[in-house]
């Protein structure tokens, strides 16, 4: 019987690659997106790869939309075995220049979207005593970076959420949790973040300007090893999903491992810390 996978944010980039690769592995894939008018890129990719998948509307910022989509899939398939929380948005701006609306939007898309989708699938996975929830985080969920503090805060929240869920859901109900931490991805993600930045006022002429120019200059010149293709990152995601003993966290490249090693070198997969938390709080001995 085919395993069923739900992927969010599948209109571009990484979401497309994950959906295609899971379908190629034989999963029944439900690739979702907020705006179905943007489904053509996914359809073309599926046709080129020679795979079939289902495309559904799901807006991670709308609880009713999330619940409806999950219910429809469960009614059709009877279960959801894998959830990939991929939907997210980048954000570049200092705290002083960010509006409260900006901050709420970034946290809602990148963190609350993960919580909404997880909350919706959990009863079904708990009932079947199996499942795997993969949260697409970032090296920015481990290491804060200039002008990305709001985005990094959201991804730090995803990391804490993933660790906490893994500490008791996995041993109690056999539902695995993994945070995947890419560096840069050559996709529409970074482009859209810059478009949002330019479309909401761009670079203010203040004391932050020279620092921001240095930051954007480094990004435009490229940092050796930073960027991967969506397909390369998706390969790591699928490998995690297929693993009989998935990590709690994983980076996706040599660059991302090196960048984060001061925080991860003693426990690269997060499994040691998971065991310690379980022993500290859930041991019956």
Catalytic residues: 151
SS3 for 50?
coil
Strands of the chain, DSSP E: 4-7, 28-33, 54-57, 82-85, 131-136, 175-181, 184-186, 227-229, 249-251
CA distances 246 to 105, 163, 173, Å, are 31, 13, 15
Closest CA relative to residue 13, chosen from 238, 237, 188, 196: 188
- Tokens 């090693």 -> residue: 261
Residues 6+ apart with CB under 8 A from 1: none
In degrees, to the nearest 5, what angle opens at C-alpha 62 toward C-alphas 57 and 65? 40
Q: Which pair of tokens denotes residue 244? A: 């009989």
- The number of angstroms, rounded, from the C-alpha of 5 to the middle of its chain's C-alpha atoms is 14
- The number of angstroms, rounded, from the C-alpha of 177 to the middle of its chain's C-alpha atoms is 12
In DSSP notation, 147-194 reads: T-HHHHHHHHHHHHHHHHHHHHHHHHH-EEEEEEE--EEESHHHHHHH
């Amino acid at each position: 019987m085919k395993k069923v996978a739900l992927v969010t944010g599948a209109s571009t980039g990484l979401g497309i690659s994950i959906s295609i690769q899971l379908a190629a592995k034989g999963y029944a894939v439900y690739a979702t997106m907020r705006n179905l008018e943007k489904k053509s890129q996914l359809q073309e990719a599926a046709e080129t790869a020679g795979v079939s998948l289902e495309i559904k509307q799901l807006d991670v910022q709308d609880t009713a939309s999330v619940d409806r989509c999950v219910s429809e899939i469960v009614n059709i398939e009877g279960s959801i075995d894998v959830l990939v929380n991929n939907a997210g948005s980048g954000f570049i701006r200092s705290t002083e220049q960010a509006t409260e609306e900006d901050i709420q939007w970034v946290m809602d898309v990148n963190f609350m979207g993960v919580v909404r989708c997880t909350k919706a699938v959990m009863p079904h996975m708990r009932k079947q005593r199996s499942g795997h929830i993969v949260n697409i985080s970032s090296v920015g969920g481990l290491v804060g970076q200039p002008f990305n503090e709001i985005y990094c805060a959201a991804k730090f929240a995803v990391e804490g959420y993933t660790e906490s869920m893994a500490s008791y859901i996995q041993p109690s109900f056999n539902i695995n949790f993994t945070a995947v931490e890419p560096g840069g991805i050559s996709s529409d993600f970074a482009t859209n973040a810059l478009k949002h930045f330019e479309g909401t006022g761009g670079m203010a002429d203040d004391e932050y300007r020279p620092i921001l120019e240095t930051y954007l200059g480094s990004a435009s010149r490229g940092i050796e090893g930073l960027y991967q293709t969506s397909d390369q990152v998706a390969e790591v995601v699928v490998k995690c999903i297929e693993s009989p003993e998935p990590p709690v966290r994983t980076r996706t490249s040599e660059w991302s491992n090196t960048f984060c090693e001061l925080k991860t070198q003693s426990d690269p997969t997060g499994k040691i810390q998971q065991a310690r938390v379980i022993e500290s709080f859930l041991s019956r001995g």
